[in-house]
Structure 1
């Protein structure tokens, strides 16, 4: 045992935002931290979600002792249905995190077979050679933890997503003392959240939004539509408290915000006064200045409640002139078009839209620590080795520079997905690479994995369209029946003679083929495809997807 070394293998989240998943291996035991997803970039046409390639875990399935979750955001738990369908191992998480996980697994019909084990901040548990101490941290979600993993070679501290908020609205502040105690014990390696490494100073606490939001509630004479991330339990709680203070009833509109609020109420994170929450169907029963509507869709999602209300197409949420719409969230990169499209529709309804965060006070704060918090954590735990996690390559690189500037870690290591970092008490070296990558999934189904070739075909179709030559062949004689037809989709020909000439190409290909070839439909399709491809490339400088269809008569 003493001769064995610890291996750290990131399977996702180092080089992109999302898909957070990391394996720790000691001998024949593997512990997995987080199982996230990533939402697809524009070029991944038709793909719903992207999850990490877990080939390494599948190859070593007998060694995997469990998956430990830091918190309940999608980029940390969203890949669980896919991973558990391949690898049914115990899942460890805090009460609130597991409540989200249960809903997700139930949706994918995986809940009955899942083993979910609740963990408590400050209470150690054991997985093989790993003794894991969850430590309370603050973030934009509740019940989040860092993981201090005691291994035979030393303590590995994985921060998860965090910011240092000592006055959290839920009464559970960041546990600064626990990190200071770890610093006294000695930390072998610190893996730290890189999300806000570009932001100077400290990230404001969740309560920093209250003064500006209070002013908005006080000044608004009509309905308030309050939109935030459905997982922002602190923000939902603050909105409800302000609504109560200003004599407004609260209606929850949108499935995600309704589900999150229900979980938060069940677990005691939100305790609204009796009668504060009304059913959306009761909105029309109250005066506009007595209403606050918590509505989902802050990122401009096309079918969200806010998007539908913005075009006057929601059963309960009707936005009238003079209403205030408050977007209490950041714009996730890539969502700008959708968000500004919704804002345009809201402006057409003569609503007052507030989506800034800083001119007259804050309406949104980040859930991730800025530069000074990152430095504070490094100075507090005094790690021997430092590894930045969670971020694009540029974030990881900036984080390396920030860690070096503290002068604390003996060694700073920039890892990417698939790198194998081997550690003992005195050294940390990259010693290899494992298979990693992304798995694209359609329809949120664990079965509908989309291959790269499918994405390529979708891109192809989107750019150059589809060409369908339809040919009728007499199976008995091999003779062509009638003239071939050509149907196109997404292919605009500048030359009106192009389709006629393409039809002639198909006829010539058929005529020049032997009777035996014409009876072999596979051969004929290839010949027609090849001849048409050359013709269209030469005459239209396009490369549509060509799919010959042969009707057997």
Structure 2
């Protein structure tokens, strides 16, 4: 666990009539969204998502919010409300339900269907409630009104959370596409109505707060996708998020128009599109779909593969194709369409995949050279529109890195929100809404919880540091037999290196140094094995640093004889 603000103490108990807000993820980062609302001793959780690891977190599969803040209060949770079905908003739900399985989950029809499919893999039978825009539900002291919003997945919702302390408008992830593919507009009249009634705190998506203007409509991508289909000479491979149903629909429509068959590749893509098709969110024309086992029977210029991997994820189908580690082999003339924008931090991984695919002769079409993706998040013009329409008494930017939160706060200031009423918080910072004013009152631990295989929370920052050292500098083991009576070396030292860039023949000098320091320690009466191990580590480490300017992991093994 990590404490986000050492200068902030633990918060006092909430004042009577106050609404407490604690983000356990999603502030100061892109992902891991989870916010806890507390009123009258009862809790409401909004979203429960994961963060995907970066290169400095080797071996990690997922990063979860830290549940420690609510672990002793799981019975106080009225419900977990899910704004939409993206992994950074629902991916950690299975891990929360391991702590208490009967927590009520509420979200839109598609969101709950995607989550239930995920929970089935975890062998969890959830308690769910499907809601829709226009609905109002009461969860303990929290009355929730659900409002429709555009996003890069259907059925996304904003939340108006009413309590005796005031009304909070939580936008979730949203944009204001005026010509959405599914005709489902962001409910601006609903936002305006809430604003007229009075919004005590606006919590709004900040991801694109640095991007000027308004987001491009999804419809503008259609002609570009059609053009890619027309010019592709062989197989066409489209990589996008496994949840981007609108983009997959555009691909299906273009495939039908150009006489191509479509195959979904990758477990998450097959699962999610199956759910979307079953619920009617994805229209799949008769006869267009084929199975992966039948691909060899279809000419390449009649085929489209839809897979995951647009962010360079190491185990995704596209990354494996680039590395020649997939049954589908990229060949000269294939066209690969990366139908997504880059999530910050994934640039290097995506570039590696692009280079790998290009090596095998593929033509790559991506956002850098064609309009093949538009963001699912509101740009600055849209954010200003919402701020002016809602006129919140207090404002708290959410869902973004620090630069996004700061930029969004500046927009709020420009629209007239008093600076003292703008709260910029990060994970673990406690905000109380009381007497019509939102203030920071303390902080709680909100560090990363790492998932590594079946291990949850057992990998620490120290473990990751060791992994990074091993990966970047290698390691050296030194085995020594010590006489327990005299403390003298009776076997070894045997020195072995892996990945340190040092050949074993070069260790003769350091062996003699180790023998010397062990002998001196014995003469001084030092026989405790831990102390001897530290002497060996320091001696070897200084020798390696002086001669090679490297800092490998050094593992002394002292054996009593």
Q: Go from structure 1 to structure 2 and tell me whether the alpha carbon gap of 1:500 and 1:8 turns closer, same or farther (over 3 Å shift).
A: same
Per-residue displacement from partner, 1:393-428 (whole Å, max 9, x unpaired)? 111111111112222678322222222222235322
Q: Aligned partners of 2:16, 2:326: CA distance in 1, in Å?
A: 64
User: How far off is 1:10 after superposition?
Assistant: 1.8
Matches of 1:529 and 1:288, distance apart in 2: 59
* Structure 2 residues not aligned, in runs of 5+: 1-13
- In 1: Cα distance, 2:109 partner to 2:291 partner: 27
Q: Write the deviation string for residues 78-111 of structure 1: whole angstroms up to 9, x where unpaired.
A: 22233333454322222222233234334444x1
Aligned equivalents of 1:104, 1:472: Cα separation in 2? 53
The answer to whether the Cα contact below 8 Å between 2:149 and 2:185 also exists between their aligned partners in 1 is yes
2:379 pairs with 1:331: no
Deviation sequence 1:262-305 (CA, Å, 0-9, x none): 11112111121221101122223233332222122222333322
Shift of 1:232: 0.6
Cα distance change, pair 180–358 in 1 and its aligned pair in 2 (3 A): farther
Q: Name the CA distance, whole Å, in 1 between partners of 2:222 and 2:483.
A: 77
**More deviation, 199-208/280-289:** 280-289
Mean Cα deviation higher: 147-156 or 468-477: 468-477
Task: Find the aligned partners of 2:330 and 2:211 in 1 and give their Cα distance.
Answer: 36
Mapped partners of 2:15, 2:425: distance in 1: 25
CA distance in 1, matches of 2:472, 2:313: 25
Aligned match for 1:58, one of 44, 60, 71: 71
1:169 aligns with 2:157: no
CA distance 1:62–1:323, shift in 2 (3 Å): closer
Q: How does 1:454-465 map to 2 (within 5 A)?
A: 454-465=463-474
* Worse overlay, 327-336 or 55-64: 55-64
Residues 307-346 of structure 1, C-alpha deviations (whole Å, 9 max, x = no match): 333455532x344433322111112233223322332333
Please say which of residues 74-83 and 538-547 is displaced more in the overlay. 538-547
Residue of structure 2 in register with 1:280 after alignment: 292
| C-alpha distance in structure 1 between counterparts of 2:410 and 2:399, whole Å | 16
- Cα distance in 1 for partners of 2:202, 2:520 equals 70
Give the whole-Å Cα distance in 2 for the aligned partners of 1:552 and 1:206. Answer: 70
Report the counterpart of residue 440 of structure 1 in structure 2: 450
Cα distance between partner residues in 2 of 1:81 and 1:506: 51
Tell me which residue corresponds to 2:536: 528
Q: Is 1:36 paired with 2:49?
A: yes
* 2:462 aligned residue: 453
Q: Which residue of 1 aligns with 2:381?
A: 372
Q: Which runs of 5+ in 1 are unaligned?
A: none
SS of residue matched to 1:244: helix
Q: Say if 1:386 and 1:409, in contact at 8 Å, map to a contact too.
A: no
Partner of 1:406: 415
Aligned counterpart, 1:127? 139
Aligned length: 546
Report how far residue 480 of structure 1 moved. Answer: 4.9
Residues 242 and 268 in structure 2, CA contact (< 8 A), matched pair in contact too: yes
2:108 is aligned with 1:97: no
TM-score, normalised via structure 2 length: 0.89
2:109–2:131: 8 Å Cα contact kept in structure 1? Answer: yes
Q: Give CA-to-partner distance per residue, 1:495-537, whole Å, 9 cap, x none.
A: 965x112222333344455599898544543443344445545
After superposing the two structures, state which structure 1 stretch, 93-102 or 124-133, moved more: 93-102
Return the TM-score normalized by structure 1.
0.90
Instruction: Give the alignment partner of residue 516 of structure 2, picking from 483, 508, 513.
Output: 508
The structure 1 residue matched to 2:28, chosen from 15, 23, 29, is 15
CA distance in 2, matches of 1:2, 1:466: 54
Superposed displacement of residue 370, structure 1: 0.9
Aligned-partner Cα distance in 2 for 1:428–1:98: 32
- Residues 409/32 of structure 1: CA separation in 2 closer, same or farther (3 Å cut): farther
Aligned twin of 2:358: 347
CA RMSD between the two structures:
2.9
Deviation at 1:130, TM superposition (A): 0.3
541-550 vs 320-329, which deviates more? 541-550
How far the C-alpha of 1:20 sits from its partner, in A, is 1.3
Question: Judging changes above 3 Å, is the alpha-carbon distance between structure 1 residues 437 and 348 closer, same or farther for their aligned structure 2 residues?
Answer: closer
Distance 1:430 1:468, change over 3 A: same
* Residue 155 of structure 1: aligned partner: 167
1:206 corresponds to which of 218, 221, 241: 218
Shift of 1:12: 1.7
**Paired residues of 2:234 and 2:334 also in contact (CA < 8 A):** yes
For residues 331-373 of structure 1, what are the alpha-carbon distances to aligned partners after superposition, in whole Å with 9 as ceiling and x for unaligned? 22332233223323333333332113675xx211110011121
Give yes or no for the alignment of 1:428 onto 2:438.
yes
Change over 3 Å in CA distance of 1:428–1:551 after alignment to 2: closer
Alignment partners' CA distance in 2, 1:475 and 1:373 = 75
Offset from partner CA, 1:218-243 (integer Å, 9 cap, x none): 33343222221111100001110111
- The match for 2:9 is none
CA distance in structure 1 between the partners assigned to 2:157 and 2:480 by the alignment:
64
Partner-residue secondary structure (3-state), 1:276: coil
